[in-house]
């Protein structure tokens, strides 16, 4: 696939591939090509989701650090 990819376009293409395979109209070679393309797209989507998940974890950690830094220091008074 040489066109610029987005998660949304990849998911859309996977849905098209599934519809084509479900139709039963694809021949053996086309089925093989569609399965290969679908697998590549699913792997791409999984990578995108992993990257977003990692980004969210970092954001949550950054927010936690900011809250801890903003909290007034509580001294141990006796």
List, for residues 8-58, the tens digit of each pLDDT value.
Answer: 999 999 999 999 999 999 999 999 999 999 999 999 999 999 999 988 888
Classify each residue of 20-59 as buried b or exposed e, where b means 16 or more C-beta atoms within 10 Å of its C-beta. Answer: eeeeeebeeeeeeebeeebeebeebbeebeeeeeeeeeee
Condensed to tens digits (0 to 9), the pLDDT of residues 1-10 reads 445 789 999 9
Per-residue pLDDT, 27: 96
Q: What is the pLDDT of residue 73?
A: 61
The confidence score (pLDDT) of residue 4 equals: 73
Q: How far is CA 59 from the centre of its chain?
A: 17
Instruction: Determine contact, residues 17/34, Cβ cutoff 8 Å.
Output: yes
pLDDT of res. 77: 52
């Amino acid at each position: 696939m040489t066109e610029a990819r987005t998660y949304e376009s990849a998911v859309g293409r996977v849905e098209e591939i599934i519809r084509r395979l479900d139709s039963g109209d694809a021949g053996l070679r086309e089925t093989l090509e569609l399965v290969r393309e679908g697998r590549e797209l699913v792997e791409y989507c999984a990578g995108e989701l992993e990257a977003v998940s990692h980004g969210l974890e970092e954001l949550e950690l950054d927010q936690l650090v900011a809250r801890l830094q903003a909290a007034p220091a509580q001294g141990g008074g006796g």
